[in-house]
Structure 1
Amino acid sequence: MAEIILHHYPLSLFAEKIRRILAYKKIAWRSVEQPMMAPKPDLTPLTGGYRRIPVLQIGADIYCDTACVARRLEQLQPEPACLPADQAGLAALIEDWADHRFMSQVVPPVVVELLPVLPSGVLVDRAAMSPAMSEDVIRRAAPHALGQARLSLDRLESQLHGRAFLLGDAFSIADAACFHPVWFLKQSARLSADIGARPALAAWFARVEGFGPGDVRPMTAAEALAIARASEPADVAGGEVAAGEELRPGDAVTITADDYGPEESRGVVARLSASEITVRRRDPAVGEIALHFPRAGYRIRKQ
């Protein structure tokens, strides 16, 4: 199998979600560090416009959004499992809550704390993705958001009382999704006290952090692009078109996130399922690419 390549940057919340899964599963991976802000000239040839981090690359197959990335990793290495079959629905609900509501509570207060050390212009860049990410809006949102985040920390503390992980004795996608907002909170020395004040939460955090960095080696963006250029999409077979589905393989579509980030990715539908879509696209820098997206959280428009 082609190498597993993660395009990310160190301070990315969502990349930390995937880094925890890779470490837990003991999957060897290559690290390509991408810029925190646009432009991302070594990423867009792979994604066709999608600029969020992280992005998983396996040859010429590109997986966007951590929901899609996590599930592909589970397919590639089912054990140890991150998607418990008997609690898959509950795990996915917690994942969605953490990736959206909990994350949105944590980001404003932490960003305000980190502004003196963040790259200049980072909030101008984020405001281009959504007006809610402008510096003025984030500063005004921070006090209320922190209060809401503390309520969420209390809920996690309650859920973790008497258990090692959120769903029981084993780590799952629920833990990975809840870990990354707590990890981001710890980037502020002042706000990290909120974790230490909750003993079950602090012990759980140390447990997940204890997986370590995993089996990771650096790779340059140029090397990753060369791998894509020398490869052909491999994960495009299968899939069943559900009754009543408006899209069909061969349809030209655009794919855009439904919450923030106006960038579009375009392609021709190669595979459909109830939960994911795969499109083929061609780029002069890398040739033919297969882009994989979850359907939840994305607007897919037939052209």
Structure 2
Amino acid sequence: MAEIILHHYPLSLFAEKIRRILAYKKIAWRSVEQPMMAPKPELTPLTGGYRRIPVLQIGADVYCDTALIARRLEELRPAPACFPPGQAGLAGLIEDWADHRLTSQILPPVIVDMFPVLPPGILADRAAMSPALSKDAIFQAAPHALSQALLSLDRLDCQLRDRPFLLGNAFSIADAACFHPLWFMKHSARMFAAVEARPALAAWFARVEAFGPGDARPMSAAEALAVARASEPADVAGGEIATGEGLRPGDAVAIKADDYGPEESRGVIVRLSASEITVRRRDPEAGEIALHFPRAGYRIEKQ
């Protein structure tokens, strides 16, 4: 199988979600560091416009969004499982809550504390993705977001008082999704003190952090593009056609997130299921690419 390549940058909290899964599953991977801000000239040839981090690449197959990336890694390395039998639905619900609500509570107060050391222009870059990510909006939201984050930390601490991980004795996608916003809190000593003040939560955090950095080796973005050019899409077979939406294989579509980030990726549908869409696209730099998105959280428009 082709090498697993993760396009990310060190400060990305959503990339940390995937880095925890890779470390837990002991999957060797190649680390391609991408810019924190647009333009991303060596990422967009792979994605056709999508700029959010992380992105997973396996040869000429490119996977967007951590929800889909986590499930692809589970298919490739089923054990140890991140989607426990009988609890996969619950784990997914916690994942969605953490990726959206918990993260939205933690980001504003941490960014306010980090603002003096953030790269110049980063909030202007994020404001182009959503008005809610502008400097004024974040600073205004921070006090209320902090009050809500503390309530969420209480709930997590309560859940962990009689178990090592959120769903029992083993790490799962629920832990990965709740860990990454708390990991981001470590960039603010004031904020992370709230984790340390909750014994069960602090012990859980240390437990997940102890997985270590994982087996990662650096790769340049140019090398990753060369891998794509030298490969053919491999993950394109199968899939049940979702009905009732007027979408079929062969349709040209545009795909974009329904929450933030206006950038579109375009291609021709080659696989469509209730949970995933795969499109084929060609780029002068990357060659023929199969681009994979989850259905949840994305708008698909026929062209």
* Distance in 1 between residues matched to 2:182 and 2:210, nearest whole Å: 15
Tell me the equivalent position of 1:36: 36
**What one-letter code is carried by the residue in structure 2 that aligns with 1:123?**
L
* Distance in 2 between residues matched to 1:241 and 1:155, nearest whole Å: 39
**What one-letter code is carried by the residue in structure 1 that aligns with 2:100?**
H
Say yes or no: does 1:18 pair with 2:33.
no
**What one-letter code is carried by the residue in structure 2 that aligns with 1:21?**
I
Say yes or no: does 1:138 pair with 2:144.
no
Tell me the equivalent position of 1:267: 267
Tell me the equivalent position of 1:95: 95
* Distance in 2 between residues matched to 1:172 and 1:278, nearest whole Å: 26
* Distance in 2 between residues matched to 1:286 and 1:101, nearest whole Å: 35
Deviation at 1:3, TM superposition (A): 0.3
* Distance in 1 between residues matched to 2:259 and 2:244, nearest whole Å: 26
Deviation at 1:245, TM superposition (A): 4.2
Tell me the equivalent position of 2:57: 57
Percent identity reads 81
* Distance in 2 between residues matched to 1:208 and 1:285, nearest whole Å: 38
* Distance in 1 between residues matched to 2:241 and 2:103, nearest whole Å: 33
Say yes or no: does 1:128 pair with 2:147.
no
Tell me the equivalent position of 1:253: 253
Q: Secondary structure at the match of 2:82?
A: coil
- TM-score, length of structure 1 as denominator length: 0.99
**What one-letter code is carried by the residue in structure 1 that aligns with 2:95?**
E
Moved over 3 A (4+): none
Q: Secondary structure at the match of 2:128?
A: helix
**What one-letter code is carried by the residue in structure 1 that aligns with 2:117?**
V
- TM-score, length of structure 2 as denominator length: 0.99
Q: Secondary structure at the match of 1:7?
A: strand
* Distance in 2 between residues matched to 1:118 and 1:214, nearest whole Å: 26
Tell me the equivalent position of 2:296: 296
Equivalent pairs counted in the alignment come to 303
Deviation at 1:240, TM superposition (A): 1.0
* Distance in 2 between residues matched to 1:151 and 1:297, nearest whole Å: 26
Tell me the equivalent position of 1:114: 114
Deviation at 1:244, TM superposition (A): 2.7
* Distance in 2 between residues matched to 1:101 and 1:242, nearest whole Å: 28
* Distance in 2 between residues matched to 1:273 and 1:27, nearest whole Å: 27
* Distance in 2 between residues matched to 1:124 and 1:177, nearest whole Å: 26
* Distance in 1 between residues matched to 2:228 and 2:105, nearest whole Å: 37
Is there any run of 5+ residues in structure 1 with no aligned partner, and where? Answer: none
* Distance in 1 between residues matched to 2:113 and 2:133, nearest whole Å: 15
**What one-letter code is carried by the residue in structure 2 that aligns with 1:38?**
A
Say yes or no: does 1:153 pair with 2:167.
no
